[in-house]
Amino acid sequence: MSVSSVVSSGTPGILIDQARFKSYPVQIAQFSDNGCLIGFVEKPELPENVAILTKAADGLIPGRIVEDLPEWTRVEFVWERARREKRSEPRRDVLIPAMIRSAGAWTTVAATIMNASRSGCRIEGPGVDRLATEIDIELPSMAKPIRGRVVWRKPDTIGVELVWQYAHGPGGRR
């Protein structure tokens, strides 16, 4: 079953700004396999590339803002972004407090994201280098944890590849 067949107009969702690690509650309208309209309670400054989260999808739906209207913003879905991109991206220096935990574990470690891009980040904090390879990054501004894979370790510092959990394209699993 396609996601578009179960998302009705006015469905609540979450818009994810992957570059700034922020999420915003939205109302979804005119949802199709190609895109949707989203409405905000309070419209933030929007990047071009975003992702949509709705209960009807099995993960994030990648998209890009193609039109910003006074009451609605049009998002075009970019399903090929759901496949892992290998190109490198510049990192931005940030100071984002986060709670990090080994995937599936209960114990969390307080840490700080020091730099970030859509594909990865550097995290510093006491004991982060002793976490498992698969981690969950919990941020106050995100509705769900971000899955990550530790790719290098130094004392109290880790390099993380972000594993955005994209939804499958139209028509279900590939």
Sequence spans of domains, the chain: 3-82, 92-163
* pLDDT at residue number 104: 82
Six token digits for residue 120: 């990865």
**Residue position matching structure tokens 């879905």:** 77
Query: Is residue 144 within 8 Å of 53, Cβ to Cβ?
Result: yes
Question: Which residues in the chain show pLDDT less than 50?
Answer: 1-6, 82-87, 173-174
* Residue pLDDT, tens place only, 55-99: 777 778 888 898 888 889 999 988 765 444 444 677 788 889 999
Environment class of residue 153 by beta-carbon count within 10 Å: exposed (0-12), middle (13-18) or buried (19+)? Answer: middle
Q: Helix, strand, coil % (nearest 5) of the chain?
A: 5, 50, 45
> What is the CATH code for 3-82?
2.40.10.220
Please tell me whether residue 3 adopts helix, strand or coil conformation: helix
Report d(CA 22, CA 34) in Å as an integer: 24
* pLDDT at residue number 5: 45
> What is the CATH code for 92-163?
2.40.10.220
* pLDDT at residue number 171: 59
Same fold across 3-82 and 92-163? yes
Indicate the residue type of 65: I
* pLDDT at residue number 6: 42
* pLDDT at residue number 168: 61
